[in-house]
Amino acid sequence: MTVPDKPKKVARLKIKPTIIPRDQHTISRAFISENALKVLYRLKNAGYKSYLVGGGVRDILLGREPKDFDVVTDAKPEQIRELFRNCRLIGRRFRLAHVRFGDEIIEVSTFRAPHHVSDQGAGHVEDGRIIRDNVYGDIDDDVWRRDFTINALFYNIEDFSIVDYVGGVKDLEAGQLKLIGDPAQRYTEDPVRMLRAVRFSSKLGLRIHPEAEQAISQYAALLEEIPAARLFEEMLKLFMGGCAIQTFESLRHYDLFKYLFPQTDKLLDTPEQDYPHTFIMQALKNTDQRLDEGSSVTPGFLLAAILWEPMRVIADEHIANGLSEIEAVQLAGDTVISRQISSTAMPRRFTHMARDIWSLQIRLKRTRKRSIRVLMHPKFRAAFDFLLLRTQAGEPFQDLVDYWTKEQLEEPFAGKEKIKSGYHKPRSRRRPRKNRNNNSADS
Ligand code: ATP
Ligand code: MG
């Protein structure tokens, strides 16, 4: 691959941006959340520069509703905090401010220079990877540290223009996802950008620019060095962004899925195993549908689905060695989860949920005794949905699905986390959970 060295030099030059005035673009304040506008205006009124940047600008230009709004300013984190009572400074690699309004968080970051522009020592690179990234700059420094041209458009609250240093507007119009600078360097600095390329191209229907595309196979292995907690966060964005199916296909196409779910990936590569693929596709389809309808989705369920096949393979071996089905599933579940968390470290509530869903698959097969206890299990509903999914993927459980559908109709409190009255108390209370801290990472 040719590695042009131009971008490094570009970063040192002061390039003039294209300014697109208000009457020549489609961003209107009506599309920006009130809270984001509040933040933009308060910064501006305090004498700071303030711009909307990233997904907010990109998505509005594409005619889509932004997921969230990111603001960038020349105010330093402490100065931002002074302006907003509802503000928290976060971040280790770089500090930024979260300004909270109820459920909505506006992320406010200070202009930063890309690491190689600075020689002040506050930015830090190891083997090409960015370790610390806290060198403040101005807008014409900040633009070069961003990943894709379409993510580097700034909407100026001062005059409502768009500031475009990198040809992002043209790329958006051309449906092209282009990295800023040299792909080799940008992937080495932060390998997660490869996953972001897949995410944005799948979600927004964009073509990854050939140079950025080619470099993926060469640099993919760098993802092994990314902390498991960050990969988990990224995995959620990939699969819970409303287009999990395309994203999954694309991750497989670029051979990146294995860095997220190595155990599953291996099974998907076995040609005679068609079931895991069908099953995962069905799970992702349901996830997308639920999100589209505005229903909730939980990572615990998705996890149970993606790891189902690796868990089953191990459980089958245990069964062949004489363990009972339930023991086999529990033991296999432990093994699969403990292997998985070295790729994506997950909060315990999600791994517990996956284990519960798997164990309940066995209990759902027993239809005569203890219906009530199964129905009252806090994860009954999820386990039932899982059984439904298996049936949709071709397993012969329609009778069971019908049975449990009927049982639920007769038991109004089925699957509720808490029993709200004394009605149908389970015969014996479950033991209190040993670990009350549900949020701690399972690692
Ligand atoms: P969305 O919020 O819809 O997922 P986004 O583009 O806003 O997409 P964020 O993760 O919110 O993505 O980041 C905001 C902006 O910060 C990005 O648009 C990009 O300019 C910059 N950015 C985020 N992550 C990186 C990264 N790993 N490398 C370079 N720039 C990044
Ligand atoms: Mg964003």
> What pLDDT sits at residue 254?
98
CB proximity list for 224: less than 8 A, separation 6 or greater: 259
The whole-chain average pLDDT of the chain stands at 88
User: Are both 287 and 400 inside the same structural domain?
Assistant: yes
CA–CA separation, 386 and 333 (whole Å): 15
Mean pLDDT of 303-313: 96
Considering Cα of 209, then 215, then 217, then 220, what sign does the dihedral take?
A: negative
In this structure, is residue 204 part of a structural domain? no
Q: Which-ligand-closest: CA of 66?
A: 1
Indicate which CATH number applies to the domain containing 302.
1.10.3090.10
User: Are both 165 and 251 inside the same structural domain?
Assistant: no
Q: What is the pLDDT of residues 56-96, one digit of tens each?
A: 999 999 999 999 999 999 999 999 999 999 999 998 768 89
Beta bridge partners of 37: none
Q: What is the pLDDT of residues 28-54, one digit of tens each?
A: 999 999 999 999 999 999 999 999 999
Q: Which ligand 1 atom sits closest to the C-alpha of 241?
A: 4
Catalytic, 70? Answer: yes
Pocket test for ligand 1, best of 105, 131, 147 (most atoms within 8 A of CB): 147
User: Are both 257 and 161 inside the same structural domain?
Assistant: no
Q: Which of 155, 174, 193 is the last residue of a domain?
A: 174
User: Are both 131 and 41 inside the same structural domain?
Assistant: yes
User: Are both 266 and 150 inside the same structural domain?
Assistant: no
Ligand 1 pocket list (CB less than 6 A): 54-55, 67-68, 70, 146-147, 151-152, 190, 192-193, 237
Please tell me which of 85-99, 159-173, 372-386 the model is most confident about, judged by mean pLDDT. 159-173
User: Are both 250 and 380 inside the same structural domain?
Assistant: yes
Which of 235, 363, 248 shows the shortest CA–CA distance to 303?
235
Q: What is the pLDDT of residues 367-376, one digit of tens each?
A: 776 678 888 8
> What pLDDT sits at residue 15?
87
User: Are both 162 and 280 inside the same structural domain?
Assistant: no
Per-residue tokens: 274: 């068609």
CA–CA separation, 165 and 184 (whole Å): 21
Q: Which-ligand-closest: CA of 147?
A: 1
20 DSSP assignment: E
Q: Which ligand 1 atom sits closest to the C-alpha of 146?
A: 30
Domain count within the chain: 2
Indicate which CATH number applies to the domain containing 22.
3.30.460.10
Q: Which of 174, 195, 230 is the last residue of a domain?
A: 174
In this structure, is residue 48 part of a structural domain? yes
Kindly report the protein residue whose alpha carbon is nearest to atom 17 of ligand 1. Answer: 54
> What CA–CA distances, in Å, run from 89 to 37, 53, 82, 365, 421?
20, 19, 11, 50, 43
Q: Which ligand 1 atom sits closest to the C-alpha of 67?
A: 3
CA of 113 to the centre of ligand 2 (A): 19
Which of 104, 29, 111 shows the shortest CA–CA distance to 67?
104
> What pLDDT sits at residue 269?
85
CB 345 within 8 A of CB 443: yes
Which pairs with CB-CB distance under 8 Å and at least 24 residues apart come from 335-338? 336/263, 336/307, 336/310, 336/311, 337/307, 337/442
Burial class (CB in 10 A: 0-12, 13-18, 19+), 423: exposed
Q: What is the pLDDT of residues 405-440, one digit of tens each?
A: 888 887 766 655 543 333 333 334 344 444 444 444
Which pairs with CB-CB distance under 8 Å and at least 24 residues apart come from 122-128? 125/189, 127/188, 128/185, 128/188, 128/189
Of 59, 70, 171, 288, which residue is the catalytic one? Answer: 70
Q: Which of 126, 151, 174 is the last residue of a domain?
A: 174
Q: What phi-psi label fits residue 203: left (phi over 0), alpha (psi between -120 and 50 degrees) or beta?
A: alpha
Catalytic, 164? Answer: no
> What pLDDT sits at residue 62?
97
Domain span holding position 403: 245-442
User: Are both 65 and 167 inside the same structural domain?
Assistant: yes
User: Are both 168 and 267 inside the same structural domain?
Assistant: no
CA–CA separation, 390 and 395 (whole Å): 6
Kindly report the protein residue whose alpha carbon is nearest to atom 8 of ligand 1. Answer: 55
Per-residue pLDDT band at 123 (split at 50, 70, 90): low
In this structure, is residue 189 part of a structural domain? no
Per-residue pLDDT band at 175 (split at 50, 70, 90): very high
CA of 230 to the centre of ligand 2 (A): 16
User: Are both 170 and 249 inside the same structural domain?
Assistant: no
Pocket test for ligand 1, best of 51, 64, 70, 177 (most atoms within 8 A of CB): 70
Beta bridge partners of 163: 19, 154
CA of 110 to the centre of ligand 1 (A): 14
CA of 54 to the centre of ligand 1 (A): 6
In this structure, is residue 235 part of a structural domain? no
User: Are both 258 and 122 inside the same structural domain?
Assistant: no
